[in-house]
């Protein structure tokens, strides 16, 4: 469910500094899945608010993600997955 996906995303964000590139990629992939679920089923206002807070926390950890970003993009592209959402480009988001 969307709520479970968001809970997994939250846990991933909380431990992001300790993760290897593959685990950071997993957090990004979970965020992709959340977005896909939202597009298909929508989101309640309560979960939307929680997701916005988590996205803000995720952006605060830009340095951790950007450190692994090259590897992460290569891994995702090699797997044939999309990398079109903002969370795959935190380096550019951080500059704004």
Per residue of the chain (96 residues), give pLDDT as tens: 999 999 999 999 998 887 777 788 888 889 989 999 999 999 999 999 999 999 999 888 877 777 766 666 666 666 666 666 666 666 565 455
- DSSP letters spanning 7-21: HHHHHHHHTGGG--H
Reported pTM: 0.72
pLDDT reported for residue 73: 63
Pairwise CA distance, residues 72 & 92, whole Å = 15
């Amino acid at each position: 469910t969307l709520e479970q996906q968001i809970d997994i995303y939250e846990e991933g964000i909380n431990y992001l500094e300790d993760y290897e590139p593959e685990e950071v990629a997993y957090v990004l992939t979970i965020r992709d899945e959340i977005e896909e679920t939202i597009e298909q089923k929508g989101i309640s206002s309560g979960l939307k608010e929680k997701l916005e807070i988590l996205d803000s926390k995720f952006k605060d950890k830009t340095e951790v993600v950007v450190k692994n970003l090259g590897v992460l993009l290569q891994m995702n592209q090699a797997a044939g997955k999309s990398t079109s959402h903002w969370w795959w480009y935190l380096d550019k988001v951080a500059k704004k």
